[in-house]
A and B are shown apart, each in its own frame.
Chain A
Amino acid sequence: MLFTPIHQNLALVISELRATLGKMELALGSIDEAIVWTGDDGGIQWCNTTFDRLVGREHLAVLGNNLAHLLPLRRSGLALTDLEHPVQAVLAQTFTTGEYEFQQAEKTAILEISGSFVELKNGDRTAVLTIQDVTERKRIEEALITANQVMAIYLQEVDKVIGAAIAVENNTFQASLLTDVATREDKLGNLARIFTQMVVQLKAREQELAEAKDQLEAVLNAVPGPISWIDSGGVFVGVNRHLAADFNLSQEAFIGQEVGFLAENAKLAHFLNEFMSSEEKAASAIVDFEVNQIKRFYLIAAQKYQKGNAIVSVGIDITERKQAEESLRIAEENYRSIFENALEGIFQSSPEGRFLRVNPALAKIYGYDSPAEMIANITDISNQLYVDPDQRQEFRDLLDQQDSVSDFEYRSYRKDGCIIWTQIDARAVKDDQGNILYYEGMVQDISDRKCREDELRKQLEELRIEIDHSKREKEVALLTESSFFQEVQQEMSQVDLDEFWR
């Protein structure tokens, strides 16, 4: 072999340097960025394998080529001249970094190029360029920007939907607010369409509800009595105008107040609270409270609804009826007092001949201890009471004909069988069709009067006889002597003494 030995120390240094350079070459060859450096003329002196792949050439085919020719660049679509190429700019020390387009076989790559200028002591000038293919990154960035723009538009339209929701809340919603969003084909567009449709329908329902509410309020306000709605907590949800007016308050003043907040309607509150706590679904009561310092009575009817969690109560002013009832009660009391305490016998009897009611005075007239005893015992007035039952029929006939009978006298049996004279004043009480319901009237015991009348009649008879006898004695002579005797005697025989003395 013809090998020449090398100085051992120099060989060692060179070996170390070779090792370092080897590592550097390996390191630079393994990175994703293309690295290339050129001489002062722009000719490529070294590049890594990433650069080889970038320009699509074998490594040795790259070396020595002018970088500006091997890597022609464009900027914003315009081709760079050699002088504008980054490698020349680096050599001119006017370049740091830039972004360029590089047309590859099948695509346009976006390259981010940075460069640095190196000048060695021996005068060698080198341009070192680092080239990064940012096509994918730019695509992602642009996609991101596009996505951001789409997202921004999306968010703007989401804001419109939110704004529309707020407009619904503020009662300023118009379907045109979501017209643009509703044209979208995605879920947001679908949401906008559904939302608009729902709100429009809701508005229509609200309108219908408002009209129904107006109608209901008109009806409720037309009701001449208090109406209130109470929730499960015993709080007024609403009242009608009548109830509010009763307490000189507005309808709104009741809303949210507990039912007992007015001292004047404590009874109503008590009734409603008890009803709410009960299992009943409906209840009614008569309560009174002062309205304008006047006590008024109301029939309160309450009904639960909303599954028993709320109450509606309706009041009917029955003050006049209560007053009428009170007047009637007093009148009845007065009548009962008169009935019970009258000296005359008072009765009601059926056409069939039974007493319906008798007062104590009548029972006493007929010798009974009480009205009840008399009613129980007399079951056939004609035969049990009338000495002459035909008079009972006469009495009934008179009432049939003239509705009332006065001073009808007849003889009656008392309980003990004694006969008394009684006088009756009575009338027939008839229904709308003229059928007799019962008789009522007053009875007087006229036995004493009848006795006196009989006694008087007897005395008159005796006096008449005595007078007749005396006259007859005095005049008999004259009469017998006069030509008129026969005529007078005839006339006297025709005189009715009873009628004459009456």
Chain B
Amino acid sequence: MSEKRFPLVPVIYTALLMLPVYWLVTMAFKTNGEIAGRLTLFPEAPTLRHLKLIFTEKAWWMGYVHALIYVCMNVVISVGVALPAAYAFSRYAFPGKRPLFFGFLVFRMMAPVILLVPFVQIFSDLDLYDTHIAVALAHCFFNVPIAVWILEGFISSVPREIDESARIDGHSLWSFFRRILIPQIGPGIAVTAFFCFMFSWVEFLLANALTAVAAKPISGIMTRAGGVLAGDFGLLAAASVVGFIPGVICIVLVRKHLVRGFSMGRVA
């Protein structure tokens, strides 16, 4: 049917999405005078000043490092604790199963702003304010549920007979996980890690509020040093462009399983 036709609508849609991105990339190479002056589609006098500053000033490039550290910590914690839980939700009957699953989901739906004040309070009291682990733990409240949700979908699509035969072969639960289940749902784990990465990477409010200097992510540095609200346009554009890179790398890495991942592993 429609499959032979050229997909005009998706192509136009994607082009419109890419247009602002393209424009941002050109801005990173423009001088501030050109940016504020008039609209140009190519940099008239291309400059590497902004990008050079970001990669040479420690305050700037460390912002990306800090963000990557807490994001990776969060991915490890979220996927690590979610995997056994997702298996339990998929394979076991236990009292309070549905309310518990629902409870997890509610936290995914919750705005970070609701927990802002207690998080600042708790992490300050624990002397964890301005550390990477504080942000990584704070991001768990929305990432653990999403990880459980996606992994449960992927595990449920693995036939139960595999569990049974592993049991008969004498695998312990641990060895079953390591030798059989994890290789089976490898794409599911990659996609889950991708989602946790994504939600932690884009979050700003908590990451900024829980850090001061030692763990300040790039977004926090952008608001402070450059001043997003009025400031050095070219520098901020360059910082934004570099901020795209980890996301693009992740998308390319999981591209084959992206679509299934977006349906929370539920459409097999």
Partners in one complex: no
